[in-house]
Structure 1
Amino acid sequence: MARTAGSWAVAICLAVQASPATATAFPGAEGYGATAESWRGGRVVAVTSLRNEGPGTLRACVEAEGARVCIFKVAGTITLDRPLMIRSDVYVAGQTAPGGGIQLRLGRSATGPLVVKNARDVVIRFLKIRPGTGGGVSANIDAVTVENAQRVYLGNLSMAFASDETFNVHVAGSTVRDITLADSILAYSLDRANHPEGRHSKGALICSDQGTGNQCGRISLLRNLFAHHRDRNPDIKATAIGPVEVINNIFYNPISQFGEFYDLLGDTTVAYAGNLALTGRSTTDRAATAVEGFDWSPEHALAIWAQDNLAFRWTGCTTRRPMPVLDPVAQDHPAPAPVRLTVRPMAAPAVEGTLPARVGDVLPGGGHRDSLDRRVLSDLANCQGHVIDAPAQIGGWPPIPAAAAPPDRDRDHFPDAWEAARPGMDPARPDDPWKSLNGTTALELWLAELAGDL
């Protein structure tokens, strides 16, 4: 049940953590993955080619060793024949791409395009990640997979056309923790496509597991839009190392289920605050609540802290009628005390008016926003759209036209106009990207301004 504005404010104020004392990945980075910052001081590597591999490619940067920042001098679609395996200590700065940005899709591959595995301190922002089926039967095509990783921040991603999970956090005989997925679009996963289990349009699977001795938790899902998935909106397990927080997300038009919270991996605590669940044209009567609890393991505890959420069922796409947020099992498993959140949520009624302008690969002023993301946002606004089986049903991959990077005479990766406007910088002199500038470093200031962080 939704709280009144006053009671909501009191509950949230009591439950929000103090800001961490450690450095964050960028101004405004939030959630458990906000401290992914050991790429600082590293090399600046320019992506100058849209090829699958070789010099100047995105693969050459993300699969390298050592601290580094990947910036883009090109725009367009990168077709991958095998996944990008992201190594530690990297910031992939998609906000630097000119024109319409960077889109990742699969050629012939049985695995999704972007995998963060056995890595730490990874930041990936402002990319379009839309795999497709890879051309064969596969149970492993996520848009983004995070496995056995720590301190990972994923933000402003546009994810679509996955045939397994759209987003998957996986643990295999190890630990995964301190992960943030924020301000992203997860949409149009493929249902009757190439998954061996058949119908498999899925949103997010948090803490899937393999092997023994697994620890998984301290994961933040913040201000994301989920649209047009059969189920797993999201599917959550965890262990006692920390909670999973689901804050200020919109979940639109599932077929059969919104959120599914399980205790199969360990003691699972979920904070579910300020979210909006909304049915659509694909939704069946099976999706009757925003959250379903599953207390299936007698040795593990399931604890759900739910505050200030809204859930509605469209009637003929003309009238919204409230529906329950929690099913009976979820209601019977309240957290014994408020969960300490990493962020201060906005009130649930504000989410629908706030998220559309900021989610997905979109820069300040609207740069990078493409027709597929605009379609998702229009679907949400107008009670339109449906779960799909193939990209061709909605026009396929949007073209991302080539575009030139802004002039950089001294080849220090800073645009001439940007350097000319800042004291201490010189467009005719190669400047140190890590030089101090206005209380930060030149590189971090440039990246933050492009992203709208300041």
Structure 2
Amino acid sequence: MTSLTSKALYGVACSFLFIFLFSCSKDTDLLADYIVSDNPSSAIANIVINDNYFVNGQNSLVLDVLSNDTFNDKENVEIIDVSIPDSGTILLNKDKTITYTPKTTIDTNSETNTEESEEIELDKEDSTKESSQNITEPTKDSFTYTTETTNEEGNKEVQTGTVNITIDYGELKAFPGAEGFGKHSLGGRGGKIIYVTNLNDSGNGSLREAIDTSGPRIVIFRVGGYITLNSALVIRDSNITIAGQSAPGDGITLRVSGNGDFPCMRSTADNVIIRGIRFRPGPGIDKSILGDGLVLTGGNNIIIDHCSFSWATDELTDPYGAKNVTYQNCIFSEALMYSSHIYSTDPTNSQYKSPHSMGMLIGDHSNKVTIFNSVFAHNNQRNPLIGGNTSVGGDFELVNNIYYNWGSFGTVILTGSNSRVNLMNSLHIPGMNTNKKRLPILVGKTAKVYAKNNISEFKTNNSQAEALTIGHFSSPFNNQLQSEDLSKEPFDFPLSTFPFSTRENIMDNLLSDAGAFAMDDVDKRIIQDVRNISGSMINDPSEVGGYPTLNNGDPYIDVDKDGMDDLWEIDNGLDPTNKLDGNLDRNNDGYSNIDDFLHELTL
């Protein structure tokens, strides 16, 4: 008997060592709570160990609570009971895992697929009650689970473990994957669904009509192709989501008619989300000065995601006075050199015969602007220019971007003395039009800049000093900064802790994902230019084949006109005839059902 007991204790010790070594995410501090099996034929006791998990407050998490428990026969283990947590809901799944979903401030009336999981019934009043508090601090929660095993003699052994949950609610992002200063834009969440049913400049079913509608709204496209504009689209009323990813076929491209001097789109509104749109204005009338793609003249909480900008005669885009703005996963390419801009077409202008191929100008009173995971290619200047003509302070971050074949100037930072800039993980690649005598990054005297992991022909690896690739913005534009001219620590911005990326990773990840979701021939060519170190700046779209043909496509079926594909609704337990379920939250993740659907279109 002594021998058998010693073997059992030896087995417990081995189990302890195995769990200690291989269970990093679990709590092994309470091993003293184990129960040793009375079965003398077993060398390893049945042990239930408490668990610790960290959960993002916007997402559910599947918990494999048995993974660190030790049983003679795991196939013979059943979870026979779970307690009800205070701050979440749980599902006991057939594979013996438990799905934990933190409660949010958004109500849910979700239905569960009973063939896949068994829902633990909660008090109906409590489970659907909407929280009146916007929880932002981490919250502690816990529940218990009870296991039952049966040995060969038919004796049952019951044990209970505790699962401790830490919930970080944070603040709901515009959509999963939103980053930077604009990541918390509300867009049109909770608002009306408006269909764009044609490609007309204006009138019923047009994009202009959808934009001009007041109140929170989500714009869904039922057609793909070109929208040729006779005047600028202007977003004046706040809280709008323009869901370009919903367009069928080859997606949506905005261009101008050529009979005026105006940008494709201008916004003065707050809480704007624009995803998956191509801005390709093309030449306007001679002596024009307003031929931009997208202009943000004011507004707060704006995110531009997976959009493509090219063929503007002024800047491709201008955040000019806007605050809390993110451009991410975008392509900024081929701003036109000698086109219809006043510098090219007015002999009386002092800048006559000067090229005007400009990427992005971050101008007066703009503050808290992020440019992330994006590609600049074939733009003569402003790649981007931060702080043009501004003396006020601001915070800016340029993280994980590629800059290719700039001409006269690459990235220029001319901010006031109260401004701060994080410049991280940038890859500057010269092309055939690049002035290689100048440094690719130039900084004004008063700018406060933190730089890290920036690669160019002047600094080819990250063991070299950052100052090698950064110069003073003064002629001849090749005087390198000293290391002491740069901030020693990153400024506390949203992406200040973004991880280091190698040149190879930046190239592979950005070039496979940047630009509008439906990649047209223009974006495909730009990406190949960057990969192959080819291509050049242009004066007119005709030099590179002009506007490609776009397939209009066929829209998904949406009988109740709630913006969601009927098949997706059925697959996700929703009613395709209920037009009110788009703003509900079936999975309690904080995002509405229409939010979830639109995001899945991007995956």
Instruction: Give the structure-1-normalised TM-score.
Output: 0.84
Deviation at 1:55, TM superposition (A): 1.1
Q: Distance in 1 between matches of 2:447 and 2:235?
A: 33
Q: Partner residue of 1:89? A: 239
Change in Cα spacing, 1:431 to 1:149, as seen in structure 2 (3 Å) is closer
Deviation at 1:170, TM superposition (A): 1.1
Q: Distance in 1 between matches of 2:325 and 2:566?
A: 35
Q: Partner residue of 1:62? A: 211
After TM superposition, the structure 1 stretch with the greater mean CA deviation from structure 2, 325-334 or 40-49, is 325-334
Matches within 5 A, 1:411-430: 411-423=561-573, 425-430=574-579
Matches within 5 A, 1:243-262: 243-262=395-414
Deviation at 1:109, TM superposition (A): 2.6
CA contact (8 A) 1:248 1:345 kept: no
Q: Partner residue of 2:522? A: 372
SS of residue matched to 1:375 = helix
User: How many residues of Structure 1 are paired with residues of Structure 2 in the alignment?
Assistant: 404
Matches within 5 A, 1:381-392: 381-392=531-542
The gaps in structure 2 that reach 5 residues or longer are 1-137, 139-167, 345-354, 459-465, 472-478
Q: Distance in 2 between matches of 1:158 and 1:38?
A: 20
Deviation at 1:35, TM superposition (A): 1.1
CA contact (8 A) 2:408 2:434 kept: yes
Deviation at 1:431, TM superposition (A): 4.3
Q: Partner residue of 1:187? A: 333
Q: Distance in 2 between matches of 1:431 and 1:351?
A: 42
- 1:149 maps to 2:299: yes
Q: Partner residue of 1:445? A: 596
Matches within 5 A, 1:252-291: 252-263=404-415, 265=416, 267-286=418-437, 288-291=438-441
Q: Distance in 2 between matches of 1:187 and 1:71?
A: 26
SS of residue matched to 1:120 = coil
Deviation at 1:61, TM superposition (A): 1.1
Instruction: Give the structure-2-normalised TM-score.
Output: 0.64
Q: Partner residue of 1:125? A: 275
Deviation at 1:241, TM superposition (A): 5.5
- 1:347 maps to 2:512: no
Change in Cα spacing, 1:195 to 1:166, as seen in structure 2 (3 Å) is same
Q: Partner residue of 2:47? A: none
CA contact (8 A) 2:197 2:223 kept: yes
Deviation at 1:345, TM superposition (A): 4.0
SS of residue matched to 1:451 = coil
SS of residue matched to 1:245 = strand
Q: What do residues 104-126 of structure 1 show as CA deviations (whole Å, max 9, x unaligned)?
A: 00002311101112x10000000
Q: Which amino acid aligns with 2:327?
A: L
Change in Cα spacing, 1:114 to 1:378, as seen in structure 2 (3 Å) is same
Deviation at 1:57, TM superposition (A): 0.7
Change in Cα spacing, 1:337 to 1:430, as seen in structure 2 (3 Å) is closer
Change in Cα spacing, 1:38 to 1:99, as seen in structure 2 (3 Å) is closer
Q: Distance in 1 between matches of 2:399 and 2:361?
A: 16
CA contact (8 A) 1:409 1:427 kept: yes
Alignment partner of 2:360 out of 201, 204, 213:
204
CA contact (8 A) 2:305 2:330 kept: yes
SS of residue matched to 2:601 = helix
Q: Which amino acid aligns with 2:565?
A: P
Alignment partner of 2:469 out of 325, 336, 341:
325
Alignment partner of 1:46 out of 174, 181, 195:
195
SS of residue matched to 1:379 = helix
- 1:162 maps to 2:312: yes
CA RMSD, aligned part only? 2.2
Q: Partner residue of 1:111? A: 262
- 1:223 maps to 2:373: yes
Q: Partner residue of 1:361? A: 516
Deviation at 1:146, TM superposition (A): 0.9
Q: Partner residue of 2:227? A: 78
Q: What do residues 233-289 of structure 1 show as CA deviations (whole Å, max 9, x unaligned)?
A: 1111166654110000000001121111113x5522211000100001111234x32
Q: Distance in 2 between matches of 1:345 and 1:270?
A: 17
Q: Distance in 1 between matches of 2:502 and 2:234?
A: 37
Q: Distance in 2 between matches of 1:152 and 1:430?
A: 28
Q: Which amino acid aligns with 1:203?
A: G
Q: Which amino acid aligns with 1:427?
A: P
Change in Cα spacing, 1:443 to 1:226, as seen in structure 2 (3 Å) is same
Q: Partner residue of 2:49? A: none
Q: What do residues 24-79 of structure 1 show as CA deviations (whole Å, max 9, x unaligned)?
A: 11112110011111522110101101000111111111122110000100111000
Q: Which amino acid aligns with 2:360?
A: A
CA contact (8 A) 1:46 1:72 kept: yes
More relative contact order, 1 or 2 (CA 8 Å, 6+ apart): 1
Q: Distance in 2 between matches of 1:410 and 1:293?
A: 55
CA contact (8 A) 2:286 2:341 kept: no
CA contact (8 A) 1:271 1:306 kept: yes
Deviation at 1:329, TM superposition (A): 6.1
CA contact (8 A) 1:294 1:330 kept: no
Paired-residue identity, %: 29
Q: What do residues 181-215 of structure 1 show as CA deviations (whole Å, max 9, x unaligned)?
A: 000000011001111123100111112x3xxxxx3
Q: Which amino acid aligns with 2:596?
A: L
Deviation at 1:393, TM superposition (A): 0.4
Q: Distance in 2 between matches of 1:346 and 1:436?
A: 36
SS of residue matched to 2:439 = coil
Q: Partner residue of 1:7? A: none
SS of residue matched to 2:323 = strand
Q: Distance in 1 between matches of 2:190 and 2:481?
A: 46
Q: Distance in 1 between matches of 2:581 and 2:391?
A: 44
CA contact (8 A) 1:189 1:229 kept: yes
CA contact (8 A) 2:233 2:264 kept: yes
Which structure is higher in strand share?
1
Q: Partner residue of 1:4? A: none
SS of residue matched to 2:530 = helix
CA contact (8 A) 1:224 1:359 kept: yes
- 1:178 maps to 2:324: yes
